[in-house]
Chain A
Amino acid sequence: DGGITQSPKYLFRKEGQNVTLSCEQNLNHDAMYWYRQDPGQGLRLIYYSQIVNDFQKGDIAEGYSVSREKKESFPLTVTSAQKNPTAFYLCASSHFSGRTDTQYFGPGTRLTVL
Chain B
Amino acid sequence: AQKVTQAQTEISVVEKEDVTLDCVYETRDTTYYLFWYKQPPSGELVFLIRRNSFDEQNEISGRYSWNFQKSTSSFNFTITASQVVDSAVYFCALIHSGGSNYKLTFGKGTLLTVNP
Residues of B near A42 (CB, < 8 A) are 4, 91, 93, 105-109
Residues of chain A lying within 8 A (CB to CB) of residue B47: 102-105
Give the size category of B's interface with A. 20 to 34
* A43, B35: Cβ atoms closer than 8 Å: no
Minimum C-beta distance from A2 to chain B (A): 14
Question: Does A84 have its Cβ within 8 Å of any Cβ on chain B?
Answer: no
B91 touching A43, Cβ below 8 Å: yes
Residues from chain A with a CB closer than 8 A to the CB of B108 are: 40-42
B-contact bits for A83-108, CB 8 A (1 contact / 0 none): 00000101010100011101111111
* Chain B 95-107 per-residue mask, 1 if CB under 8 angstroms from chain A, else 0: 1110101111111
A-B contact number at CB 8 A: 66
Among candidates A58, A100, A105, residue contacting B44 with C-beta atoms closer than 8 Å: A105
User: Distance (Å) between the CB of B20 and the closest chain A CB?
Assistant: 20
Alpha-carbon distance between A44 and B101 when the two chains are bound, in angstroms: 13
Among residues of B, the one whose C-beta sits closest to the C-beta of A40 is B108
Q: How far is the CB of B108 from chain A (nearest CB, A)?
A: 5
Name the distance in Å between A34's Cβ and chain B's nearest Cβ. 12
A107 contact from B44, B102, B106, B107, Cβ within 8 A: B44
How far, in whole Å, are A88 and B39 apart by their CA atoms in the complex? 12
The answer to whether B102 and A88 have CB atoms under 8 Å apart is: no
Contact A58 B97, beta carbon cutoff 8 Å = no
Kindly provide the distance from the CB of B27 to the nearest chain A CB, expressed in whole angstroms. 12
Contact mask for chain B residues 45-82; partner A; CB cutoff 8 A; 1 contact, 0 none: 11100101000000000000000000000000000000
A59 contacts partner chain B, Cβ-Cβ < 8 Å: yes
Q: Determine the chain A residues whose CB is within 8 A of the CB of B116 once the complex forms.
A: none
Whether B30 sits at the interface, judged by CB under 8 Å, is no
* Cα-based distance from A54 to B82 in the complex (angstroms): 44
Instruction: Look across to chain B and name the residue whose beta carbon is closest to the beta carbon of A90.
Output: B45
The reply to whether B103 and A50 contact each other, CB–CB distance below 8 Å, is no
Which residues of B approach A to under 8 Å, CB–CB? 4, 9, 32-33, 35, 37, 42-47, 50, 52, 91, 93, 95-97, 99, 101-109
Residues of A within 8 A of B (CB): 31, 33, 40-45, 48, 50, 56, 58-59, 88, 90, 92, 94, 98-100, 102-108, 110
